[in-house]
Structure 1
Amino acid sequence: MLLLVAMPAGAFELQGSWQQGSLVHGQAEPGTRVWFGESALRVSPQGAFVFGLDRDEPAKVELRWQGQGDARPLSRRYAVAPRPWKIQRIDGLPPDKVEPPPEVMARIEREQALLNAARDLDSDLDGWRQRFAWAATGRISGTFGNQRILNGIPKQPHYGIDVAVPVGTPIHAPADGVVSLAEPDLYFTGGTLMIDHGHGVSSIMVHLSALKVRVGDAVRQGEVVALSGKTGRATGPHLHWGIGWFRSRVDPQTLLPPMPVRRAK
C-alpha cells in the first residue's frame, strides 16, 4: 500500500508505506535539511531523499525538517504499522548445527565488518529512485522477516527474499548503482555481491556461484552481475536478495512489481 502524505507548503511530500520493512521516498524544497530520528538524511540538490523502516522499527518515529527560511526545525511523529512475522521453533538439534564453531568466529567478524562498511556508504547516486526490477525470476521460496528459534536461541531473521533458480542462472542488477562489495566466498553467504544505489540504499545478493563485476564497477538496471548458486550455508540452489537502508532491512517485495509469470514452452 502506497501512502502519499502532503506536508505544509514549503515542506515536503512523502511517498511510501508506513509499515515495518518499507522504504519511504521524500521530496522537499531544494536546500531543506531533513532528519529521520537522530540521523541527518542526504538530500539531493533537487530535494529528493529516502529512508527505511526496519523489520523491527518501533511503533512511533519522528521526522524533522528545516527549510532555508525556517528559524528552527519542524517535526512530526508517525505511527509505524507492525507486521506479523512467522516464527518457527526447532529444538533438539546438534549444537554444531545451531552455532558456528569457535575457530571460525574471527573470520565471521571480519566478514561482518566488510558487509557493514558497504552498508554504511552514503553516496549521491540516485538509482534508489528507480522502480526496482527482479534480480531473477522463479518460484519464491523464502520471504522477508521470518525467523527461526533453534534450541531456544533466536537466529537472525530472514532479511530478504529467496528465489529458487538453478545454479548458473543470470542475476541482474535490480537498479542502477555501483558495486560496493564483491566477495566469492564468505562463511554464511558464499559468493556475495552488494550494489550501492545511493543515499544509503543497497542491494545484497548471496549464495552466488560466480561474480561478473568488481568493486567500483558502475552497473545499469538489468545488467547481468552474477550467476546464482548454492555457496555458503545454503541448503539448495537459490538467489537470496536483500535491500537495506544503511543497516535497516527493507522488504524487497514492497518495491517490486508482481513476479513475472513464466509461460510453458
Structure 2
Amino acid sequence: MTPRILLAIALMLSIATPALAIDLKGHLVPGGFAVGKAEPGATVLLGDNPAMVGADGTFVIGFGRDQGTEVQLTVIHADGHTEQQMLGIAPRTYEIQRIDKLDQNMVTPDPATEARIKADQAKVKTARANPSERHDFLQSFIWPAQGPISGVYGSQRILNGTPKAPHFGTDIAAPEGAPVVAPADGMVRLAETGFYLTGGTIIIDHGFGIYSSYLHLSRVDVVPGEDVRQGDLIGAVGKTGRATGPHLHWGLNWNETRLDPALLVPPMP
C-alpha cells in the first residue's frame, strides 16, 4: 500500500474508535472498583461484562482477583458511535492460608449437603440479581467490626490439606457477640440465619451492582428490604457455618465479581 492509503486507513480508524475521554475514580487493581460517568443512554462494557448506567450516566466497573494487567472499556453512545480504551490494571500478589481441623463435610460435602449449599447459593444470586440506582457506594466506608485481621482477600486457601477456592473477603477476628455495623448506607437484600457454609448471612445493596456481605454471624438484626444507615447495628460476630472461631467475614461484590472491601477503608484502628 502507498503511504497515502495507509494514512487514510489510520484516519478512518481514529474516527471510528476515538480515545475514551472518561475520568475514572477508584482502584484499578484486582479486587478494586472504579466509578465513571458517560452520557445518559450510553452502554458501557468492561470486556464482555455490561455495567449498569444510571439516568445521569454514572456507572461502576469492578475487577476480579485474577484480572489481567489490561482490560478493554467500551462505551457505546446513544447515537451509536463507539469509543474504546485499554485500562491498565496494577498487579497484586496473594498469600497462601492453611486452615486445618475443619469438619471434613465442610470441605468435601456429601450429596445432600451439596444440594443444600447450592440452594443457599441460589438465594445469594437472587439477592444480587437486580442492582439498584442507589449511590451509597460513593460514601467513604467504615469498618463493620473491630479486631485483628485474620484473613485477607485473594489468599489461596488450603482446607484440611486440600486446595480450595481463594478467600474472597476480609476476616476480622472479634469476640462472639461483638457488634457488626453497616459500613455505608444501603438496603438489606438478604438476611439469613442458617446457611450451611456461611451461617448467619447478610447482603446489603449499595447501588450499581456494589453489594457487601457479612458472614458467620451469631445474630442477624435486620430484614430484607430494610434501609440501613452507616453505623447502624446489623448483627453480631459469630462462628456459624464453616468457621474455626468467632470472626466476621466481610465481602464485597460488583454483581458476581468478588472485590476486596479492605480497599475502601483506612487501616484498622
Q: What is the TM-score with the length of structure 2 in the denominator? A: 0.85
Report if the CA contact (8 A) 2:128-2:209 is conserved: yes
Alignment gaps of 5+ in structure 1:
1-7, 261-265
Matched, 1:35 2:45: yes
Report if the CA contact (8 A) 1:11-1:29 is conserved: no
Partners in 2 of 1:98 and 1:237 — Cα distance? 19
The CA RMSD over aligned residues, in Å, is 2.4
Cα deviation digits, residues 27-51 of structure 1 (max 9, x gap): 2344433221223322222222111
- The one-letter amino acid of 2:149's match is I
| Count of residue pairs the alignment pairs up | 252
- The one-letter amino acid of 2:194's match is D
- The one-letter amino acid of 1:237's match is P
Matched, 1:254 2:263: yes
Report matched runs for 1:148-159 at 5 Å: 148-150=157-159, 153-159=162-168
- Tell me which of 228, 234, 253 is aligned to 1:219: 228
Matched, 1:20 2:2: no
Residue matched to 1:4: none
- The one-letter amino acid of 1:54's match is G
Q: What is the TM-score with the length of structure 1 in the denominator? A: 0.87
Alignment gaps of 5+ in structure 2:
1-17
Residue matched to 2:68: 58
Partners in 2 of 1:244 and 1:195 — Cα distance? 10
Partners in 1 of 2:58 and 2:218 — Cα distance? 36
Residue matched to 2:213: 204
Partners in 2 of 1:166 and 1:33 — Cα distance? 46
Partners in 2 of 1:157 and 1:125 — Cα distance? 30
Report matched runs for 1:68-87 at 5 Å: 68=78, 71-87=80-96
Report if the CA contact (8 A) 2:153-2:260 is conserved: yes
Q: 1:88 to 1:28 in 2, by over 3 A?
A: same
Partners in 1 of 2:108 and 2:208 — Cα distance? 34
Report if the CA contact (8 A) 2:19-2:84 is conserved: no
Aligned-pair CA distance for 1:139: 1.2
Percent of residue pairs identical: 48
Aligned-pair CA distance for 1:164: 1.1
Q: 1:201 to 1:156 in 2, by over 3 A?
A: same
Partners in 2 of 1:161 and 1:242 — Cα distance? 7
Aligned-pair CA distance for 1:111: 0.6
- Tell me which of 177, 180, 201 is aligned to 1:168: 177
Partners in 2 of 1:61 and 1:39 — Cα distance? 11
Normalized per residue, the structure richer in helix is 2
Aligned-pair CA distance for 1:120: 2.9
Report if the CA contact (8 A) 1:145-1:160 is conserved: yes
Matched, 1:188 2:197: yes
Matched, 1:110 2:119: yes
Q: Counterpart of 1:253 in 2: which secondary structure? A: helix
